[in-house]
């Protein structure tokens, strides 16, 4: 019996285009191999389906009933991470970063050690944490707790997160660039710790955003949300998406956080820098209703479809959309091809985060795969050369 499986009679998603060719996977090693070097293999007929890299989820606060700030015991936290992992893989996700919003240093230090990169049985792999706070603007707090926000000039990053967590699990930090000391913080995170730094939850103007990019920031967090609106004489941070530095930028394509026409504009501005995120919260995958708060939001939360708000207000908390639905939405909103939309949840994220072992269908990369029909619905998911759905 051969260790090589050849996926044939389908379309390979690569570089924002579909290619009618076969894909060869070494299921023992869990990686993609060069078909020209293969002598014996088994056949897996795709029957016209699309095969793409398993999706990468850059920003999720939780799902399947669990919010990443909700710590009880290490054992229960691990059980909940397993449930999250299995839910995410059902939406085509092969790897994810857990987002921790603005919480107290005590909570950061309690949960971050549990978010080190790790694999799960039959689920998506955790690649570390994205800390969305606490250096954000209270004026653009969204659903964050403004009382817990900090100013870089008056805080030490080690005191906020813990020195070991900075080395072992935090891969990305979102900062508001107008805060005193932010440029120094951005530079330190990037140069000394090799983290990806994003800018968001901010009142900053365009010029301040440019300075943040020059300091080492490389992306924008959920563009258009929790920042100054794009204006023809004052473009704000949103105007950076077409600037010469060419930053990456994430966008929530749920049809709630950003109007579909604006999602289309954002994508068309730079398809190779556009990133789709869910910004999902723990109600994703759960029935509609009213749910309790947690360490980030000490209020009841109401879920109606993919929309979640603080009970009794119009304040958006996050989304309950799946990443596969975001892909289909982008196709619908912008008229782009399915392959172009898939690039926004695979190759673009891999390039931003410096991942060279996954996210692209190329020899030597991990065989984390998702099979889709022509409309972008998930049919099968493989992790490291093994079918998990």
Q: Name the token pair of 80.
A: 């909940």
**Residue (of 349, 347, 389) closest to 372 by Cα position:** 389
Q: Name the token pair of 334.
A: 């912008």
**Residue (of 213, 57, 190) closest to 129 by Cα position:** 57
Strand runs labelled E in 268-339: 274-277, 289-291, 301-304, 307-310, 316-319
In contact, 319 and 102? CB cutoff 8 Å: no
Of these residues, 279, 288, 314, 324, which one is catalytic?
A: 279
Residue 98: alpha-carbon gap to chain centroid = 8
In contact, 106 and 165? CB cutoff 8 Å: no
**Residue (of 53, 47, 55) closest to 15 by Cα position:** 53
Query: How does DSSP classify residue 280?
Result: B
DSSP, residue by residue, 181-250: THHHHHHHHHHTT--EEEE-SB---HHHHHHHHHHT--EESSTTSSBPPP-SS--TGGGGGGSTT--EEE
Number of H helices, E strands in the chain: 10, 24
CA 184, 245, 242, 219 torsion-angle sign: negative
d(CA 159, CA 134): 12
Residue 237 φ then ψ, to 5°:
-65, -30
**Residue (of 105, 107, 103) closest to 159 by Cα position:** 105
Strand runs labelled E in 82-146: 93-100, 125-132
- Active-site residue flag, 205: no
Pairing of strands 301-304, 289-291: antiparallel
Residues serving a catalytic function are: 279
């Amino acid at each position: 019996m051969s260790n090589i499986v050849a996926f044939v009679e389908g379309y390979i998603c690569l570089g924002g285009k579909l290619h009618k060719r076969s894909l060869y996977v070494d299921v023992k090693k869990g990686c993609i191999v060069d078909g020209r070097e293969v002598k014996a293999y088994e056949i897996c007929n795709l029957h016209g389906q699309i095969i793409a890299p398993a999706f990468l989820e850059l920003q999720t606060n939780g799902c399947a009933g669990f919010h990443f700030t909700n710590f009880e015991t290490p054992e229960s936290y691990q059980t909940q991470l397993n449930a999250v992992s299995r839910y995410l893989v059902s939406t085509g996700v092969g790897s994810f970063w857990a987002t921790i919003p603005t919480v107290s240093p005590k909570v950061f230090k309690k949960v971050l050690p549990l978010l080190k990169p790790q694999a799960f049985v039959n689920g998506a792999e955790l690649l570390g944490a994205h800390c969305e706070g606490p250096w954000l603007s209270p004026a653009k707090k969204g659903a964050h707790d403004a009382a817990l926000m900090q100013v870089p000039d008056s805080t030490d990053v080690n005191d906020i997160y813990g020195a070991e967590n900075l080395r072992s699990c935090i891969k990305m930090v979102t900062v508001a660039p107008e805060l005193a000391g932010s440029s120094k913080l951005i530079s330190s995170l990037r140069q000394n710790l090799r983290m990806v730094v994003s800018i968001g939850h901010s009142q900053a103007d365009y010029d301040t955003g440019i300075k943040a990019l020059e300091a080492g920031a490389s992306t924008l967090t959920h563009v258009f949300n929790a920042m100054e609106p794009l204006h023809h004489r004052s473009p704000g941070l949103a105007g950076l998406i077409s600037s010469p530095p060419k930053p990456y930028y994430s966008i929530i394509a749920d049809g709630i956080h950003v109007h579909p026409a604006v999602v289309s504009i954002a994508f068309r501005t730079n398809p190779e820098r556009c990133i789709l995120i869910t910004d999902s919260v723990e109600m994703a995958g759960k029935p509609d209703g009213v749910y309790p708060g947690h360490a980030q939001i000490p209020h009841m939360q109401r879920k109606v479809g993919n929309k979640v708000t603080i009970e009794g207000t119009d304040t958006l908390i996050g989304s309950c959309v799946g990443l596969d639905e975001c892909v289909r939405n982008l196709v619908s909103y912008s008229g782009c091809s399915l392959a172009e939309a898939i690039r926004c949840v695979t190759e673009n994220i891999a390039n931003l985060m410096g991942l060279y072992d996954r996210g692209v269908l190329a020899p030597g990369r991990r065989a984390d795969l998702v099979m889709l029909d022509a409309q972008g619905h998930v049919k099968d998911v493989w992790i490291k050369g093994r079918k998990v759905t």
